[in-house]
């Protein structure tokens, strides 16, 4: 277990925050630090065909050790962390034999990880938790997944009696800003199917995800001295407020679950003369997804009719689509993962992803790619944690999938 802890900590203490405002790939230079480290470790452990391209996509091969023909499978994780919360200067804390009580993350700032608020903590009483120090995220999303794939490959190399077919592994940048699969070379990867190790609690197995789009709304106003403003001044912030008020008030992340979609206003910046809103649009159902985009267009048209043409400008960009359409025809790849979990005494939790993974885009690029748990909780913030035992179970699932596939 210490080997797992050491590897995970060596990854999370490298700052790999991605940047949505950058046009480069990877979006930040610092992502190269972990990408190059992974290349060195893959070579050192004995993986073959280790490569890193000009965009920091890392790939490697574990050759088959059986004589019969076996499908080539892949395991994929991303090494960037979200720009939503700082991933610089991560200082992980180890909590052995968790007692079920409050965990003091930062005494000076009175930051506490408590089961009174995060009830899932009680699932891990008696286990070893890795937490933040309360001032950064942890980076288990998705450095837990990276750790699991690396440890699983190392285990298979060191235990050649375990039979498996050819396995490809891939590590990607910029997943957190929706670009993780954009430059992924599916043909080079050469797998029949793959799994992203990018879920949360133990047992999660997902092959449905949101259809997703991003929307930028620019509201144009006119600035005039307030003493002479009557009939002349147009306050863009107030019009932006009209736009927000026209959205369905119950269809937001904090009031929806399961298959329910939402609009999420996540950024606003404004002055009298110009206000900019940024939203994300999410829905599992394709028609409802289209209807949501149409609603934004309708609100825009109505406000322009009311306040004048060009007052509100709307830009919508699709980001990814529900992988269910691509995975359902090859459901045996989900069945294999489910069987692997059951063989290990893990109860599969098959449910829709309220988000997306590299796998959703890869599935549309010709690489069917369900998602498997990586073990962490409370991603993207100071309360993030991961039980070491959950990382170990994910490693076991990878190994078991490899064995089952070799038997099919």
Residues marked active site are found at 80, 175
Residues 6+ apart with CB under 8 A from 72: 165, 166, 167, 168, 190, 191, 192
Q: At what angle do helices 2-12 and 140-158 cross, to 10 degrees?
A: 140
- The one-character DSSP state at 28 is S
39 preceded by cis ω (within 30°)? no
Whether 114 contacts 122, CB under 8 Å:
no
3-state secondary structure of 131: strand
Using CA atoms, how far residue 102 sits from 117, 119, 122, 378, in Å, is 10, 11, 10, 15
Using CA atoms, how far residue 383 sits from 70, 135, 285, in Å, is 42, 9, 31
Using CA atoms, how far residue 303 sits from 11, 53, 217, 367, in Å, is 48, 47, 12, 43
Q: Strand 349-350 and strand 103-106: pairing? A: unpaired
Using CA atoms, how far residue 167 sits from 98, 191, 237, 264, 406, in Å, is 36, 8, 54, 38, 11
Whether 130 contacts 35, CB under 8 Å:
no
Alpha carbon distance 87, 90 (integer Å): 6
């Amino acid at each position: 277990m210490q080997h797992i802890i050491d590897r995970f900590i060596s990854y999370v203490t490298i700052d790999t925050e991605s940047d949505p405002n950058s046009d480069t790939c990877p979006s930040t230079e610092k992502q190269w630090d972990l990408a190059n480290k992974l290349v060195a470790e893959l070579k050192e452990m004995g993986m073959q065909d280790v490569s890193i391209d000009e965009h920091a996509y890392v790939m490697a091969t574990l050759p088959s050790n059986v004589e019969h023909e076996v499908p080539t499978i892949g395991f994929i994780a991303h090494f960037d962390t979200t720009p939503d919360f700082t991933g610089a200067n991560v200082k992980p804390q180890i909590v052995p034999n968790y007692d079920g009580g409050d965990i003091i993350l930062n005494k000076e700032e009175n930051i506490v990880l408590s089961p009174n608020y995060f009830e899932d903590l009680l699932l891990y009483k008696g286990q070893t938790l890795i937490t933040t120090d309360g001032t950064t995220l942890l980076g288990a999303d998705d450095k837990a997944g990276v750790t699991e794939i690396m440890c699983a490959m190392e285990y298979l190399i060191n235990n050649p009696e375990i039979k498996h077919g050819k396995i490809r592994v891939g590590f990607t940048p910029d997943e957190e800003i929706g670009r993780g699969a954009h430059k992924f070379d599916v043909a080079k990867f050469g797998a029949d199917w793959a799994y992203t190790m990018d879920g949360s609690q133990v047992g999660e197995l997902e092959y449905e995800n949101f259809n997703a789009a991003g929307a930028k709304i620019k509201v144009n106003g006119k600035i005039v001295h307030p003493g002479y403003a009557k009939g002349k001044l147009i306050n863009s912030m107030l019009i932006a407020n009209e736009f927000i008020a026209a959205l369905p008030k119950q269809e937001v992340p904090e009031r929806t679950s399961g298959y329910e979609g939402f609009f999420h206003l996540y950024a606003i910046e404004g002055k009298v003369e110009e206000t900019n809103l940024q939203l994300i649009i999410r829905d599992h159902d394709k028609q409802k997804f289209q209807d949501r985009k149409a609603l934004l267009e309708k609100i825009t048209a109505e406000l322009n009719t009311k306040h004048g043409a060009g007052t509100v400008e709307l830009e919508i960009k699709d980001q990814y689509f529900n992988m269910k359409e691509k995975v359902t025809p090859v459901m045996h790849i989900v069945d294999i993962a489910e069987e692997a979990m059951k063989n290990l005494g893990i109860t599969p939790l098959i449910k829709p992803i309220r988000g997306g993974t590299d796998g959703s885009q890869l599935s549309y690029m010709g690489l069917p790619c369900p998602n498997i748990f990586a073990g962490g909780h409370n991603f993207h913030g100071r309360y993030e944690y991961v039980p070491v035992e959950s990382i170990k179970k994910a490693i076991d699932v990878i190994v078991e999938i490899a064995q089952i596939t070799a038997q099919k």
